């Protein structure tokens, strides 16, 4: 069996490894558009901050590690066409030479690309996206050679917030610009304000409700102009306005696309074209709670979908168990996490949500170093079913552990009350006899109307 995979990031390499685990005789080949297969793009802000000084440490696996697993790599080759009838993929190298690779099964794992920035001046020197290893090298070179003192970040997604931290770590004065009324649209307004306060505390300027209309060069400076007369000077501009699925190659081969142009797949990660699977940031994601497809690009999801695609390409019958949208991001001293549905999302999905907010110590307050956690619990007021959780707290206060408790409970359709029955660990330096998650569940039950 010859399995061909287009894309060498999370989903692609996960598919390749799983196929080889199940079928050691499988001929598995991965086409990678650059020379950095299986690198942690999520780690780029920590390389640029200097906290991870060697970019090579961002490799989950080296080229040698991957090839040792019996996986062939076509590095610095771009797939340009898929012929489902002939079962071939045309690839081209940096010099423009083309060749056709045949396949029995194909996995498309082309990922996502930065959302187009329709702003004059977005291509000026000193203006950068941050999505690939090459992008990070360009930003790193600018910082080390030009020694900028100020940066403007357009957008406040994961990369935008993490890079505000990274640039501040490097001594730059940072301004973050967002179009919306809230800094972070994926969490509730009150929690977003806590994050905004942390940015202000660290000297980051946050400018909301501004549309950037132009970026102009002015000697060694860049001038960012926006709505309502907004103007700001900077020596470096980072474009962090989100991503879109890289699905053009698939669509040109007759593969169906859906939400935001993402490739449409079933839960086996199969497309509408026989013998072709797709996984990762280029595909729609089945949401476990709503039962509907959405577009939710996350590295954790890409790994799982790639594993499912690789297993099924090797003859298996696995299904993707769905996403809950579980996320966590570190912003200076805060960790910000969510899973499941927020109030409005739950209502739109047909639930009758009720949400409470609790402030709870992360461990026994008498032990030094206790931090307060802000926890929001959303449950269905009719059935008591847990629908979602959100947490903001100190990044060393086990925020990720606790959001994962909520995520595990959501996966198993537990009620809010069921959280109290979980046998969770306890010792005063790290917790309480009732964990913070359980105390927030008890608050929800106490405040539930009726």
* DSSP string across 13-54: HHHHHHHHHH-TT-EEEEE-SSS-TTB-GGGHHHHHTTSS--
Considering 42, 207, 268, 422, which one is annotated as catalytic?
Answer: 42
Residue 42 a catalytic site member? yes
Among 51, 48, 296, residue whose Cα is nearest residue 153: 48
Q: What's the CA gap between 214 and 124, in Å, rounded?
A: 11
Cβ neighbours of residue 314 closer than 8 Å, sequence gap 6 or more: 1, 3, 18, 19, 22, 23, 26
The distance between the two most distant Cα atoms of the chain, rounded to a whole number of Å, is: 71
CB 222 within 8 A of CB 122: no
Distance separating alpha carbons of residues 390 and 344, to the nearest angstrom = 14
Cα–Cα distance measured from residue 32 to residue 30, given in angstroms and rounded to the nearest whole number: 6
The DSSP symbol for 82 reads E
Closest CA to 32 of 164, 132, 166, 149: 132
Find out whether 266 and 274 touch, Cβ atoms under 8 Å. Answer: no
Candidates 444, 307, 322; CA nearest to 389 is 444
Catalytic positions, please?
Answer: 42
């Amino acid at each position: 069996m010859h399995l061909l995979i287009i894309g060498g990031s999370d989903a692609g390499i996960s598919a390749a490894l799983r196929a080889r685990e199940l079928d050691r005789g499988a001929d598995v080949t991965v086409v990678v558009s650059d020379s950095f297969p299986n690198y942690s793009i999520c780690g780029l802000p920590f390389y640029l901050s200097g906290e991870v000084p060697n970019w090579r440490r961002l490799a989950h696996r080296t080229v040698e590690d991957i090839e040792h697993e019996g996986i062939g790599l076509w590095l610095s080759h771009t797939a340009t066409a898929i012929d489902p009838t002939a079962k071939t993929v045309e690839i081209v190298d940096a010099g423009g030479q083309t060749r056709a690779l045949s396949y029995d099964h194909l996995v498309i794992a082309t990922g996502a690309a930065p959302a187009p920035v329709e702003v004059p001046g977005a291509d000026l020197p000193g203006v950068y996206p941050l999505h690939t290893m090459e992008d990070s090298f360009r930003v790193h070179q600018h910082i080390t050679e030009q020694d900028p003192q100020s940066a403007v970040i357009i957008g406040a997604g994961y990369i935008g917030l993490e890079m505000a931290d990274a640039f501040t770590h490097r001594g730059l004065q940072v301004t973050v610009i967002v179009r919306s009324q809230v800094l972070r649209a994926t969490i509730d307004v009150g929690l977003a304000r806590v994050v905004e306060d942390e940015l202000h505390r660290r000297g980051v300027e946050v400018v909301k409700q501004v549309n950037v209309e132009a970026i102009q060069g002015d000697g060694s400076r860049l001038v960012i102009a926006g709505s309502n007369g907004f103007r700001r000077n900077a020596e470096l501009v980072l474009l962090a306005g989100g991503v879109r699925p890289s699905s053009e190659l698939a669509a040109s081969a007759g593969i169906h696309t859906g939400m935001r142009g993402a490739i449409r797949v079933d839960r086996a990660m199969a497309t509408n074209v026989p013998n072709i699977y797709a996984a990762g940031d280029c595909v729609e994601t089945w949401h476990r709670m709503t039962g509907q497809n959405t577009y939710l690009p996350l590295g954790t999801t890409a790994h799982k979908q790639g594993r499912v695609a690789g297993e099924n390409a090797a003859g298996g019958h696995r299904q993707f168990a769905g996403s809950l949208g579980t996320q966590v991001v570190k912003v200076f001293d805060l960790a910000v996490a969510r899973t499941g549905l927020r109030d409005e999302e739950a209502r739109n999905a047909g639930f009758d949500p009720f949400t409470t907010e609790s402030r709870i110590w992360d461990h026994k307050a008498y032990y030094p170093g206790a931090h307060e956690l802000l926890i929001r619990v959303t449950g269905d007021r009719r059935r008591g079913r847990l629908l979602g959780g959100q947490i903001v707290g100190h990044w060393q206060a086990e925020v990720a552990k606790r959001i994962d408790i909520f995520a595990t409970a959501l996966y198993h359709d537990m009620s809010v009350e069921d959280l109290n029955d979980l046998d969770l660990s306890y010792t005063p330096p790290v917790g309480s006899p009732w964990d913070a998650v359980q105390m927030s569940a008890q608050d929800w039950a106490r405040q539930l109307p009726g």
